């Protein structure tokens, strides 16, 4: 099922949305997405941010007729409105396009507040607007990004960055890692763990009972039978065969360039790439406007738009909210699927 049109639930899920860096495009795409009345048919949205920041951006965007229901906590949510919780009271240094120490600190504060409500089951999922990975760093936030932060907060070691669009679901074995360290990091154990996380997520989160997965090679031409690297021969091929013997539909390793050029991804339920740019470059070329970043393997549901803070267009009323909208819809869809699979053991 495409995540553009979630079905109605008997009880609408409450979807938390963190503002991200308020000097980026986060506030704009949130305002645009939540003025769409279709959202509240499927969920009750609650923004973790600042009503004063929200008001400033609504004026910049000429969206002043669109108001948010201000609440102190999730007990006061209006299910027919877009809600907002003030995570701080003062306006702060709103400078669209220019990340500041304060905008980074408040991005972390919103995230912390949402995590508390996730842990207490006050919200059913969280959608994270983009942060600036540099100015958010502090004694309380020392992570490469949202994914690692949430994995640490929920004490999960085996997680997977999974990029999702109607055309393609793409997972990463290694994520925010320098390219020179990728080969050293790869091991049979790591790749097998990521494959198992992917299988579990495809079953529980996407309702695919027997997922068919393509594995990309690390090296050009998937190693060309050992002429351009040994990882395919020594790690990937034996692991793929071992998993196939256990009944899993695992195929590869495929040369990444030809795999995407020939649209082979359309034949699979998911693709597993070895490193960040190997997967993210083709994914964003195929699905930049409607792609979603989902953290598989967490006990909670977290999605995000597949783009960054876009400081170059912040405050200029140019930001496209489609990826955020799809992130909200995907969060609702996964709530549905996890509800359906609750109580059943997902085997890998």
What's the confidence (pLDDT) of residue 347?
Answer: 40
Its pTM stands at 0.91
- DSSP per-residue codes, 244-296: HHTT-EEEEEEPHHHHHHTTGGGGSSEEEESSHHHHHHHHHHHHTTT-EEEEE
Q: Which CATH superfamily is domain 159-290 in?
A: Isopropylmalate Dehydrogenase (3.40.718.10)
Stretches where the chain sits below pLDDT 70 are 1-10, 91, 343-348
Handedness of CA 22, 27, 30, 34 (dihedral sign): positive
SS3 322: helix
What's the confidence (pLDDT) of residue 93?
Answer: 82
Q: Do 1-156+298-348 and 159-290 have matching folds?
A: yes
- DSSP per-residue codes, 266-279: GGSSEEEESSHHHH
Architecture of the CATH domain 1-156+298-348: 3-Layer(aba) Sandwich (3.40)
| Start-end of H helices in the chain | 26-34, 39-42, 51-60, 101-119, 146-153, 182-185, 188-204, 231, 237-245, 256-261, 276-287, 322-341
Q: Could you state, in order of their start, the residue ranges of all structural domains in the chain?
A: 1-156+298-348, 159-290
What's the CA gap between 33 and 29, in Å, rounded?
A: 6
pLDDT digits 0-9 by tens, 12-46: 999 999 999 999 999 999 999 999 888 999 999 99
What's the confidence (pLDDT) of residue 132?
Answer: 94
């Amino acid at each position: 099922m495409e995540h553009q049109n979630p079905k109605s639930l008997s009880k609408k899920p409450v979807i938390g949305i963190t503002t991200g860096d308020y000097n980026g495009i986060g506030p704009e795409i949130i305002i645009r997405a939540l003025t769409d009345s279709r959202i509240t048919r499927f969920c009750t949205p609650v923004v973790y941010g600042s009503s004063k920041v929200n008001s400033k951006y609504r004026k910049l965007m000429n969206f002043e007729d669109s108001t948010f229901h201000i609440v102190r906590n999730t007990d006061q949510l209006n299910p027919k409105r877009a809600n907002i919780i003030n995570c701080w009271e003062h306006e702060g240094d709103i400078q669209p396009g220019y990340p500041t120490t304060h905008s980074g600190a408040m991005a972390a504060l919103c995230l912390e507040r949402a995590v508390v409500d996730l842990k207490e089951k006050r919200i059913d999922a969280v959608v994270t607007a983009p942060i600036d990975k540099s100015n958010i760093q502090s004694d309380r936030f020392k992570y490469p990004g949202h994914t690692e932060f949430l994995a640490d907060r929920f004490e999960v070691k085996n997680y997977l960055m999974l990029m999702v669009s109607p055309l393609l679901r793409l997972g990463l074995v290694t994520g925010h890692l320098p390219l020179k360290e990728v080969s050293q990091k790869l091991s049979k154990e790591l790749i097998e763990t990521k494959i198992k996380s992917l299988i579990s997520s495809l079953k529980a989160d996407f309702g695919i009972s027997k997922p068919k997965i393509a594995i990309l090679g690390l090296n050009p031409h998937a190693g060309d039978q050992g002429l351009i690297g040994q990882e395919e021969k020594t790690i990937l091929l034996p692991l793929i065969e071992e998993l196939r013997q256990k009944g899993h539909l695992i195929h590869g390793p495929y040369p990444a360039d030809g795999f995407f050029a020939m649209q082979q991804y359309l034949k699979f339920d998911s693709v597993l790439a070895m490193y960040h740019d190997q997967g993210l470059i083709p994914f964003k070329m195929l699905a930049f406007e409607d792609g979603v970043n989902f953290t598989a393997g967490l006990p909670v549901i977290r999605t995000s738009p597949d783009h960054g803070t876009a400081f170059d267009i912040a405050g200029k009323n140019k930001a496209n909210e489609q990826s955020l909208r799809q992130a909200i819809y995907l969060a609702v869809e996964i709530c549905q699927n996890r509800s359906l699979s609750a109580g059943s053991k997902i085997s890998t």
